[in-house]
Structure 1
């Protein structure tokens, strides 16, 4: 459409279209004048009818209403025709198009051109698009009419009834279903972002999009569980987040992560990128104390007394060969080890 010959033909076609438009406009203007003349004559006839001649008056009134309706129709047709006036190109504009038309493709493909601007470029050369749908064959035939009268025919296969072109993959839906049991929509969106997952349309996940997916697939929203009894006499095992475990055990997050790394406590992730969850039972609670038991030693003192390295002492604690507790208060915080007797270890490796 942007070749020099096509541009010249388009300009000629637009000139001819403008001439036809003016001809049609003149015909419609005459039609409006004729309709107005008929309406005025019908009004004079109606006004001259004697009130006693009711039958004649009703006939004249009906005729007047028809003439007035004809006036409104003719005026509407004239207004519509005026709005359809084709583009008129001046000599200056035509000269510019002939010189700049070859650069439109470069402008269209330029990285600085936005999608909105590309759509505007396409719409500027398209006059209309006609669609013929063949329901049985599920085929749509499109006829693109370009500015100037040239046309292009395209055939495309239609979607199946009820089908969708872009849907979220089953793996992501299954993951959202599992995560919704433990996390709210905002946390789920953050987890999917860490895994570099995208929506079916290539967008990043947000709280609103997670909520939409849940509503579409009937996934219940996360419900905050009731606060568990974390008293010393509670025997129930809890699976809690790092933050909750920090409050329950009275130790820092750094210590909890180190314990998980060393295998002293058990941590789990529902999926990579999800927050860590720690299992806390009464046995773990009993090994975290506010005060140092009588005769228990620090890691350095225990290593010196046993004549082994610090790492060896930690391995013995892991294997249960040494009994140990963690003191979470006072100036003597940290690991305390009993080296006098062989007792079951503090943190059994799970």
Structure 2
């Protein structure tokens, strides 16, 4: 069908929307020819009969990926205006500029067909309400999405190939730096090195991350922290920092990649999930100098696991303060959870009594263990 036959007077009464997008800020700065080609589509709209003041340019999605419309405000505005019947034609240099997600692209096509809105790209003008044009636009959207997967696969394949050799440069934790040759070495700052060494020695002696934090706090010691600009700042040691250092295998001289995995939820948010060591794409012990050995790192992980809540922790832990007996030792006969003590008030001066466990099958309710005159104990998951 002739292009001018597709453009009807009722199309010219509405606005001509020009959508402009580039995937990254680097492309915005360096690939200026693409931006010129996209802005040049204004001339196509004028040639088809739209006045210059009718052309609405949406270019606030510069530097945004087209993989999803969840974070693209400009594309959402475009879809909204098309749905309200404000647009007579939607212009984009190619399908990939509008969307690389087939679901977003098909949604735009459906709304354009219902609102009788045309679509223009570098190759021609299309009417989404026409079967042939809709089929061609659908194929272009599918190819655009497939191209995105091909690009990602190529980039990912190159990165993983370097990762398997241990040559891919990752962000290093505090205390490790890259030298002039690109090799990982210990931080040249003597204070940083001595503080981290003292931290691992203290943990080996105490066997507890929280106790190590308390010792640092009581002695007035500060722990180094590297800022985003590369500067090192000494701050009070926190429990989260201590756990992060103890769980990081780079301090043991191991090259690792992919310890955590990002997942995108339905609402577009990214969540971080830890992987098991068997699922890491790369784990190369003794790849560079470290503060502790790989064997010592494995022992530290076992200590942290034993310090957590569980049967091994309860069996290895010593009785804590309070008059209740068997705390941390008694196990629920129904759910297998360890019974925990909850004191309503400080029971000073009382002597420990005999602890009696009442099974859940007798009381007909979640497991409760009591001792006469002593606080009750309940399992955490019963």
Using structure 2 for the length normalisation, give the TM-score.
0.25
Q: Which structure has the highest helix share of the two?
A: 1
Task: Output the TM-score relative to the length of structure 1.
Answer: 0.27
Which of structures 1 and 2 has the bigger CA Rg?
1
